[in-house]
Structure 1
């Protein structure tokens, strides 16, 4: 049995290992779990803007961004496409958290005000879609996902 890997197989294996590490970081204490822990710790208390931003950045955005990057890398995306999808994921994750805070009337939306939070959500929606422009019709599903949020 030949155990030698082709150059493409070697590239995929390296990518898988790197993205496994990135995913662990995005999910762990420096990512989603860390943001969720701070969120739980602060429930029922007034929080400051820095804490609200930390929670929102570290929850869904980290996981969504790393998932999109992994898919783009494994799908053979260019360096530019990988970066655009990663940024889109971070923005959509933040958008999701802000909309969730608006609906729950807590967190970031409560700190900055609901009107300002809505404006921020609209701005993030525009930023998310801007990351997809170069994908043309291939970005329609992700644009629809951002609209859904």
Structure 2
């Protein structure tokens, strides 16, 4: 009886720790792989990464300051084929979509006025309907150009 309780507690703790472990691995992926794509821009110090499954999307709100030049870089693990990212203003007017740019992984731009923008990432379904949906890490990284 005592060993059954021990096994149950071990199983529950393993189940609860798994998402934290996966997120830690995802942030590590962002640090080691995605951050490199920002060069020569200077990383803003934030690692925005999450595990997404085909068909899922996520949004991130970020303030950009007038007169600054930025690079947005989106990368995903090899399990995911293409990742779409869309940059919108707060009224949801599309300012950029990489779908019209052959799914480019980064976009460089300069803002005239300080404003909050919405960055939406979408993981399209690439698998056949008979296959299991794939999941992987998706990171959104921001860089600032310094002279």
TM interval, shorter chain, is 0.3 to 0.5
| Higher RCO, Cα 8 Å, sep 6+ | 2
TM-score normalised to structure 1 length = 0.34
* Structure number with higher strand proportion: 2
**TM-score normalized with structure 2 length:** 0.34
Q: Which has the higher helix share?
A: 1
